[in-house]
Amino acid sequence: MPTAATTGSAPTPTGETAALQLVEHGAYSASGVGAKVLVAAEYAHLVFELIVTAVAGVPGDTLAVFVQQSWDGVNYDDVAAFALLTGAALPQVQQASFPARRPDAAPELHTQTDAALPAASLRDVPLARQFRAKWSVAGGGGSAWTFQVVAVPRASR
C-alpha cells in the first residue's frame, strides 16, 4: 500500500538518484500542467514531493496539486492528490511514496481520473514510467503560489 506524509519545512529533496522536476520552482497564479517526465532509473520506492514555500494574495484561495501517470504518453490518470493548501502553515512539504514492486498486489480495475482524486489520497495501482503534475488554483483569484513538484527514485538498501 502506498503511504502519504505531510511534514514541516524541509530543504531540498534527498535520495540516491537526483530529483526529477515535474514542476519547476516558481510562482504560479493560474492552474496548469507540468511537463511529462520519464523516470528511467530503477527504484524500490518512488517518492513525489510537493514543496510549497510561499503564497501571496487573496485569503480563501486554494491550491490543489495532483501527480498523474501515463502508460501511453497521451492519457493521464491521478495517482496522488496532495492535501489541499489554503495558505496556512507555510512553508510546507508533502510527500507521497509508492513501492515499485509488490508481488502480493491484487489486480485492480478503475476508470482514469483527471484532477479528480480526493485531496490527501493515493491510488494503489502499478506505476508507469511517465509522470506529470497538474495543479488548480481556485477562489477569488489573484494569489501566487510558490512551489515545485519533484520525483525522487529511491534505491533499495
Summarize pLDDT for 80-137 with one digit per residue, the tens.
Answer: 999 999 877 688 999 999 988 676 777 888 899 999 999 999 998 889 999 999 999 9
Report the range of poorest mean pLDDT among 5-14, 22-31, 69-78, 144-153: 5-14
CATH code at 3-154: 2.60.120.380
| Percent residues over pLDDT 90 in the chain | 61
Choose among 153, 137, 145: nearest CA to 51: 145
Q: How far apart are CA 128 and CA 118, in angstroms?
A: 21
Sign of CA dihedral 121, 145, 56, 144: negative
Entry pTM: 0.86
Q: Cβ contacts of residue 7 below 8 Å, gap of 6+?
A: 92, 93, 94, 95
Q: How far apart are CA 152 and CA 143, in angstroms?
A: 28
